[in-house]
Structure 1
Amino acid sequence: MSTSVLSRYRTAFAEALAQALGVPASEIEPQIKPADPAHGDLSFVTFPLAKAQKKAPPAIASSLASAVKVPGLEVAATGPYVNARFATQPFSSEVIDTARKEGPAYGHGDDGKGKTVVLDYSSPNIAKPIAFHHIRSTVIGHCLANLYRALGWKVEGINYLGDWGKQFGLVAVGFQEYGDPARKEEVGHLIEVYVKANKRAEAEPAFDERAREFFRRMEANDAEALSLWQQFRETSIRDFERIYSRLGIRFEHIEGESRYQGKMEPVIEEISQKVGVKESKGALVVDLPYAEGEPPVMLKKNDGSTLYATRDLAAATDRYERFQFDKALYVVAKDQQLHFKQFFLVLQKMGKPWADRLVHTYFGRVQGMSTRRGEVVLLDDVLDQAKELARKKVQENIEKGRIQTDNPEELSEQIGLGSIVFGDLRHNRTSDYAFDWEEVVSFEGHTGPYVQYAHARTCNVIRKGGGAPASFDGALLTLPEEQALLRVLARLPVVVREAAEQYEPSLVARLMLDLAAAYNRYFTAGNQERDKRILVEGNDALRAARLALTDATRVTLASGLTLLGIPTPENM
């Protein structure tokens, strides 16, 4: 895969400035910033040079601008800034050719070749439904996995199920009391049983103790208890996989806390030797200095059963032994920050040389998505409702002649999924956001359907134009709308790297919004002025150039949406 067009020009500008100043290019490149669009595309400020050169910054800038010559860049001074603007050619052809040549891999790279990243994401609990609050871990994790794969990393995506603990005791004893054996493979029935058992356990200590006793039997490898647990686990996983399939998500590994059953004593022994342990209210805790009021890292409860902190410590060690990872991301809500801070600290105190490769990739909450009675909102129900709302909009547009599709059902599903996934990923990962049905499914504004519609529009223009041309003259793309669009297209390879480095899918989502808006402005300009039409009449060369630009836009929208995990309909 080629170096991005923007990166090549940035490097060439830095090298030319460095040569004129007699310093290494590595000193200059970090100082190259985006320019004020009125003055160019790249900018270098000369204030830091004033003291050494004993000259005013504008004079330094003027002298540098005269000395710097870079093919394809128009260099000029504006006050203390040395600005560079991409010349119409070869920039226009380079951007379009790169996107069209790389196709679905546009924006990808080999930065991570030979490296491995472990991604722990989604991670629902067995015998409970995948609720809407799982959406953030699931889609953020999926997008990050896509980004790292696109950059050449080997991705080990792990759906680390909550499949061990007292809740299985609750399901088991609840099933004994309320379950229908004929429905033991229905996840909905298991949920009903769990809800009843949980309520009873809160009100009846003896029933709660029965659940604890069942879990102790599981930890003691009781065959009957483990057999029942295995049945519940398989039932849940089948239901989970149906929803993941709908979202287009595939994990390299579906594992759970149960994997570490019987493997925790060596970890506890190692912590005891290297860090220290102590007893606290009958429980075994890691002997660390704790802040006032800070809960300790518990390794065992007072009844001897283990906790998820113990299993996380065992899992981290196991994952490094299996994958020799260069990075391990835990895509888990920000309210677990203390847990991960303590968990990473224990590994550091244990002397694990890879402990600094672990990252808690936390995210904010979704607000405004709950029922009046405070019941859990199921992810499946949200996807169904999104599809239904999309179906109404699709039908309206079919009746008005705005949409032509042979499969309105499939299109409604694609738009529904796009609205929910994009509605999440466009927000900063670490921020809370308010869910708004009217907003997420709109065909206008900062939404998934808006970007999907832009992609479908490019496909439609290319069809009407008789297909994308094999060759074109980029020098003809001189309209301000065309040059603005080209600059957005060129950003994808840079943004993909930034999004992976910052664990921030919203950077890609926002670029897609910028791209959709830039293309729509270009398309609309053609509706207002005939000579700006993409399918301009009477000028075959100009028509070919504009179709090639449209094709590069189609490729870039498809690549970005696919990285986000969003379908790319060709008719809308």
Structure 2
Amino acid sequence: MSTSVYSRYRAAFAEGLASALGVQAADIEAQVKPAEAAHGDLSFATFPLAKAQKKAPPVIAKELAEKLSVPGLEIKAVGPYVNARFNAVPFTSEVLDAARKAGATYGGDADAGRGKTVVIDYSSPNIAKPIGFHHIRTTFLGHCIANIYRALGWRVEGINYLGDWGKQFGLVAVGFQEYGDPARIDDMGHLVEVYVRANKRAETEPAFDEKARDFFRRMEAGDAEALKLWNQFRETSIRGFKQIYARMGIEFEHIEGESRYQGKMDAVIEQIAKKPGVKESQGALIVDLPYAENEPPILLKKNDGSTLYATRDLAAAEDRHTRFQFEKSLYVVAQDQALHFRQVFRTLKEMGQPWADKCVHVAFGRIHGMSTRKGQVVQLNDVLDEAKERAAAKVKENQEAGRLQTDDPDKLAEQIGLGAIAFGDLKHKRATDYTFDWDEVVSFEGHTGPYLQYAHARVVNVLRKGGGAPATYDASLLTLPEEQALVREIMRLPEVVRDAAEQYEPSLVARLLLDVAAALSRYYTLGNQERDKRINVEGNDALRSARLALADAARVTLASGLTLLGIPTPENM
């Protein structure tokens, strides 16, 4: 497994501390934390040692600091802390070389997950319905988590687990028989119209609703005519979905749905019947487990014999483990489904499946405040269209003002619109709710996707004006505080990517990119104020090369991080 620059220095500091204290480095490393920027880069608190040594923590810190000598680190005691600061040489060149050598793969580690497989279940729309804006979180989060695991060397099996089985397809079918145009069965929009109309009618006409239920029962019984019509609806939907996913730059290893497990549920129920057991409750079949007060039971079959989500998810979990022998199986699904997944995983564990603990519900919160100019029924494609339209207006405005150059304003508007929507979601911690605000999301300023895309395009332009990134440079010339601050932000990406994988938290990457862009902006501002501090400084080729190498490492970090988030990286804005 390759080690990042930060990890190497942290490990060296921990080893030095351990040697001075006469303990194992493994016992110390977890206690080495990032220091406050004013005092260094790494910090070790001596409070836990006070009782055993019968000394005040500041005394222990002073004595430890005097004992320590670690190459590349300047070590000092500050009160009860032993702090270490990275010496500019060779630290600076190590960080810049690591980023520039890795290029598009910077932040990743091809060895970290070698030989391991992660299954990621995400997006998962229902067929015969459009992909709604409410699918944005599962789709972008799942895509980003998949990118992060790929970057860390895992084999990723991304599954778009379609809702393609259930009474709603009975509604589409009976609706189509009454309202549909057979010539438009390949038209996704027409199927949606039919479904909306049939659904409204079913709400007020019990007989029509029963007709839909009967159609679904025919599907479950294997009726050839019913399944042929259902399959046509399914193929139409998948074609429509693929167009939207292509627009978002998303591909799945597998597109499959609940229907895959039709005919396989009885075998799973038989397994559960052996352990932990099943029983009848109000005519339905449930898993025989002790339940908490007011906890609904785990339903396997309804009283009419039809199966439920839990049954299909249990069958799917077993199938996925058989197919992929996964190290992790992630379900990127809304927090609302927390009880469902707790119960599914609990059932798997009670069945004696040793891999049950490898199944993880990656839950996320809700989005509030979304509406589009087209009305309240919010389709994801409409949101992407509106984002592009708003971005196009800003592109035109900036072009006319001479602030932006592009040969393809339409393509740029599409890239900015997608970046705005994706980053507007991914910058939030996944477990939290947030309120969508159009003006904030598409702004070129603040914590937004367009701001980061602009930061990337701006540094590309600086490199272009400087004649490109230099092959050689002298890192010891990068002594400005703003330069060293930027180096430290660049350094963080590999650690943050690893943390994001462990926590299933893309917002960590998003927030780091904002920090990189902010440090880069402060560096630009310095150069605007004093000519001798510009990146493309005049009259000093060696200094200009060093600063261009730093700019290039910043470009690599922004490009790599944005790509992990699934956000385009335009080079002109």
What TM-score do the two structures reach when normalised by structure 1? 0.99
Aligned to 2:40: 40
Aligned to 1:559: 560
Percent of aligned pairs sharing the same letter: 76
Map of 1:237-276 to 2, 5 A cutoff?
237-276=238-277
Task: Please give the per-residue CA displacement for 1:489-545, whole angstroms capped at 9, x wherever unaligned.
Answer: 000000000000000000000000001111011011100111111111111111000
Aligned to 1:52: 52
Q: CA deviation at 1:60?
A: 1.3
SS at match of 2:30: helix
Q: Is this contact kept in 1: 2:121–2:142, CA < 8 A? A: yes
Query: What is the rounded CA distance, in whole Å, between the counterparts of 1:70 and 1:538 in structure 2?
Result: 38
Aligned to 1:79: 79
Query: What is the rounded CA distance, in whole Å, between the counterparts of 2:215 and 2:296 in structure 1?
Result: 27
Map of 1:534-553 to 2, 5 A cutoff?
534-553=535-554
Q: CA deviation at 1:94?
A: 0.6
Q: CA deviation at 1:370?
A: 3.9
Q: CA deviation at 1:376?
A: 2.7
Q: Is this contact kept in 1: 2:2–2:112, CA < 8 A? A: no
Q: CA deviation at 1:294?
A: 2.1
SS at match of 1:114: coil
SS at match of 1:101: helix
Query: What is the rounded CA distance, in whole Å, between the counterparts of 1:73 and 1:473 in structure 2?
Result: 20
Aligned to 1:190: 191
Unpaired segments ≥5 residues, structure 2: none
Aligned to 2:66: 66
Query: What is the rounded CA distance, in whole Å, between the counterparts of 1:463 and 1:292 in structure 2?
Result: 66
Q: Is this contact kept in 1: 2:372–2:382, CA < 8 A? A: no
1:25 aligns with 2:25: yes
Task: Please give the per-residue CA displacement for 1:439-482, whole angstroms capped at 9, x wherever unaligned.
Answer: 00000000000111100011000000011110001001011110
Q: Is this contact kept in 1: 2:372–2:386, CA < 8 A? A: no
Query: What is the rounded CA distance, in whole Å, between the counterparts of 1:295 and 1:48 in structure 2?
Result: 47
Map of 1:213-224 to 2, 5 A cutoff?
213-224=214-225
Aligned to 1:445: 446
Query: What is the rounded CA distance, in whole Å, between the counterparts of 1:87 and 1:371 in structure 2?
Result: 52
Aligned to 1:507: 508
Task: Please give the per-residue CA displacement for 1:168-215, whole angstroms capped at 9, x wherever unaligned.
Answer: 000000000100111111111001100111111111111111101101
Say what the alpha-carbon RMSD is for the aligned residues: 1.1
- Gap change, CA 1:371 and 1:206, over 3 Å in 2: farther
Unpaired segments ≥5 residues, structure 1: none
- Gap change, CA 1:153 and 1:130, over 3 Å in 2: same
Query: What is the rounded CA distance, in whole Å, between the counterparts of 1:550 and 1:259 in structure 2?
Result: 50
- Gap change, CA 1:520 and 1:350, over 3 Å in 2: same
What TM-score do the two structures reach when normalised by structure 2? 0.99
Q: CA deviation at 1:374?
A: 8.3
Aligned to 1:107: 107
Aligned to 2:517: 516
Q: CA deviation at 1:292?
A: 2.8
Q: CA deviation at 1:237?
A: 0.2
One-letter amino acid matched to 2:290: P
More displaced stretch, 301-310 vs 484-493: 301-310
Q: CA deviation at 1:80?
A: 1.0
Query: What is the rounded CA distance, in whole Å, between the counterparts of 2:262 and 2:108 in structure 1?
Result: 40
1:398 aligns with 2:396: no
Q: CA deviation at 1:66?
A: 1.3
Aligned to 2:481: 480
SS at match of 1:69: coil
Query: What is the rounded CA distance, in whole Å, between the counterparts of 2:457 and 2:500 in structure 1?
Result: 25
Q: Is this contact kept in 1: 2:486–2:520, CA < 8 A? A: yes
Map of 1:1-400 to 2, 5 A cutoff?
2-109=2-109, 110-370=111-371, 375-400=376-401
Aligned to 2:431: 430
Query: What is the rounded CA distance, in whole Å, between the counterparts of 2:374 and 2:218 in structure 1?
Result: 35
More displaced stretch, 268-277 vs 244-253: 268-277
Count of residues in Structure 1 that have an aligned counterpart in Structure 2: 572
Task: Please give the per-residue CA displacement for 1:341-370, whole angstroms capped at 9, x wherever unaligned.
Answer: 111111111111100000000000000014
Query: What is the rounded CA distance, in whole Å, between the counterparts of 1:221 and 1:64 in structure 2?
Result: 75
Q: CA deviation at 1:43?
A: 0.5
More displaced stretch, 437-446 vs 285-294: 285-294
SS at match of 1:565: coil
